[in-house]
Amino acid sequence: MNSADTEADRGHQKEAGMAEQDEILVVSPGDRTPGPSTPGMERQQAVATDGMWSGTARTEAGMASGWHHHGEYETTIYVLTGALLMEFGPGGSSTVAAGPGDFVYVPKGAVHRESNPSAEPADIVVVRAGRGESTINVDGPP
């Protein structure tokens, strides 16, 4: 885009999550809306359709999210800043660690929680494909 472009030229601006099948949509940071809530994380929704959810999430330094899963959604996470430590499996006994530039795949129904052991906020980009409720908070892992 050159400096002569106006905001209107960037694409249709609509309320986040209101994507039409035949439209290309730009969702700027100020257009995102609060996403599904899990204690310890702040999610922002960019786009949601019948089969996909996308947005961002932030976990502050030293914080851990509550236990949750994403129902029938498969999830891909891209880590922008900070560190991501994900606990999952029986009793939360398995972990994976990721940092800036890493992708993390979370299968359907995998109960997990995320923490940020770094000294800076962890910012991630999240894309989910599936149907139904995108975030289900639970008491703990199986």
Judged against a pLDDT cut of 90, whether residue 95 lies above it is answered with yes
Averaged pLDDT for residues 88-107: 97
Distance CA 85, CA 98 (A): 6
* Encoded tokens for 48: 């949601």
When computed from its CA atoms, the radius of gyration of the chain, rounded to whole angstroms, is 16
pLDDT at 22: 80
pLDDT at 15: 45
Distance CA 118, CA 79 (A): 13
Fold of 31-137: Jelly Rolls (2.60.120)
Instruction: Share the mean pLDDT of the chain.
Output: 88
Averaged pLDDT for residues 78-95: 97
Model pTM?
A: 0.82
pLDDT in tens, 24-76: 999 999 999 999 989 999 999 999 999 999 999 999 999 999 999 999 999 99
pLDDT at 2: 43
**What are the domain boundaries of the chain?**
31-137
pLDDT at 18: 54
Q: How many CB atoms neighbour CB 93 within 10 A?
A: 9
First to last CA, the chain: 50
Judged against a pLDDT cut of 70, whether residue 100 lies above it is answered with yes
Distance CA 105, CA 125 (A): 12
* Encoded tokens for 14: 């609509």
Could you tell me how far CA 140 lies from the centroid of its own chain?
Answer: 20
